[in-house]
Amino acid sequence: MNQVGAVLVAVTALALGGALPACAAAAAAPAKATAHGKPAHAAKPVAQRAPDAAARRAFAVEFADESGLPVKTIERWLAAARVQPAIIQAMDRPLLAPPKWYEYGPPFLAPNRVAAGVAFWDAHEDTLARAEREYGVPPAIIVAILGIETHWGRNVGRYRALDALSTLAFEYPRRARFFRDELKAYLTLAQQLGVKPDVPVSSYAGALGMPQFMPSSYQRYAVDFEGNGRVDLWHSDADVIGSVAHFLVEHDWQRGQPTLLPAAMADGAKPAAMARLDGGISERRPLAAWRDDGVTPVAPPADLADAPVGLLLLEDAPDASSLYVACENFYVITRYNKSRLYAAAVVELAAALEAARAATPR
């Protein structure tokens, strides 16, 4: 991440087991974790041409001036990077019509996915409870995000982070400035973590670890929730849990507040309400304004925050859909990934995980 959603593409492929996940993570075969604190998920380099020498040199000089690192050290790191044409192809892939909810959501809610999420929750129940106490983010939301991002660490990426970020920094002019900043953040982060920059893997867009934070977000939002003096989003599940919760609260997560509430429509109110939708979701307005237009949340909590809310449409079938009042916390989830479908999948998977745990004797 980032900003976590800054470089993201549609997440349908991950839902279907493909290689284009929500926070720019790329699917990979499950990697065996090394001993805690060792370099993260090492990947073998692929022989490709190196980035442009002049651009690489200019970057090294600029970054050396900013960081105090020797130019030669930075140049040595960049010399180890290899251009990955498949990454450029992924970034330039033509945009297709976005999927509908009935196409996108079900794979995330499959029984095996829910069972894996329950197992992760059970294994980290105490840590998740501590994160909720400290940050106010429910365990189900944290577990659901991690399940959608990387299937709880099984698919953390298949490119070397150095290759991915260098390719986009030097070979993708449209976003070169953004990715050069992320490359700087990554090289700084590698120094802080004490790992060689050419070792860790990432998504094709350079997102790192189980929660798929972009390097700048790793620096900004990752926390040492394990308390060992090291922030490790590859091998420390405690750090991962705390960091996701910290990211959400830093983007204004509201403790104890809902994400979605079913919407009730007064007679004749639906056409005007639907006209406010753009891509299945509206801008936020005061709840009183929605009520004036005949749109009300069903069974809202008595302490519902006085914050603007939106309207969300989810397609249940080709000829049927449901409408929801989208509360502030739903929009916070979209700060992780801007897709309404992604945020809805987090909410629905979280509900499925809670139901599955409640149905299991403990």
- Structural domains in the chain plus CATH codes: 12-250 (1.10.8.350)
Provide the whole-model pTM: 0.87
Task: Kindly calculate the radius of gyration of the chain based on its CA atoms and give it in whole angstroms.
Answer: 21
Phi, psi at residue 187, to the nearest 5°?
-65, -40
User: Can you tell me which residue has the tokens 């189900």?
Assistant: 140
Q: Which residues of 143-153 are buried (b: 16+ CB within 10 A; e: fewer)?
A: bbbbbbbbbbb
* Cβ pair 83, 48 in contact under 8 A: yes
Dihedral in degrees, nearest 10, Cα atoms 42, 45, 51, 55: 20
Taking the chain (362 residues) in consecutive chunks of 10 residues, what is each chunk's mean pLDDT? 37 34 35 36 48 87 97 96 95 88 98 98 98 98 98 97 98 96 98 96 98 98 97 97 98 98 97 96 97 97 97 97 98 97 98 96 77
DSSP H or E run through 150? helix 139-150
Q: What pLDDT, on a 0 to 100 scale, did the predictor assign at position 301?
A: 97
Q: What pLDDT, on a 0 to 100 scale, did the predictor assign at position 233?
A: 98
What is the distance between the alpha carbons of residues 266 and 270, in angstroms, rounded to a whole number? 8
Q: What pLDDT, on a 0 to 100 scale, did the predictor assign at position 27?
A: 29
If one counts every other C-beta atom within 10 angstroms of the C-beta of residue 155, the result is: 23
| 62 in catalytic set | no
Phi, psi at residue 336, to the nearest 5°?
-80, -40
* Cβ pair 142, 239 in contact under 8 A: no
Cβ-in-10-Å burial (0-12, 13-18, 19+) of 37 comes to middle
Q: What pLDDT, on a 0 to 100 scale, did the predictor assign at position 41?
A: 52
Amino acid of residue 299: A
* Cβ pair 204, 19 in contact under 8 A: yes
* Cβ pair 206, 190 in contact under 8 A: no
The terminus-to-terminus CA distance of the chain in angstroms comes to 35
Phi, psi at residue 295, to the nearest 5°?
-110, 125
> Nearest-CA neighbor of 240 among 254, 256, 221, 255?
221
Q: Which of 62, 103, 134, 149 is catalytic?
A: 149
DSSP H or E run through 43? none
* 3-state secondary structure labels for all residues of 219-283: HHHCCCCCCCCCCCCCCCHHHHHHHHHHHHHHCCCCCCCCCEEEEEECCCCHHHHHHCCECCECC
What is the distance between the alpha carbons of residues 79 and 133, in angstroms, rounded to a whole number? 46
Tell me which long-range contacts 74-79 makes (C-beta under 8 A, separation of at least 24): 74/187, 77/162, 77/187, 77/197, 77/198, 78/51, 78/166, 79/50
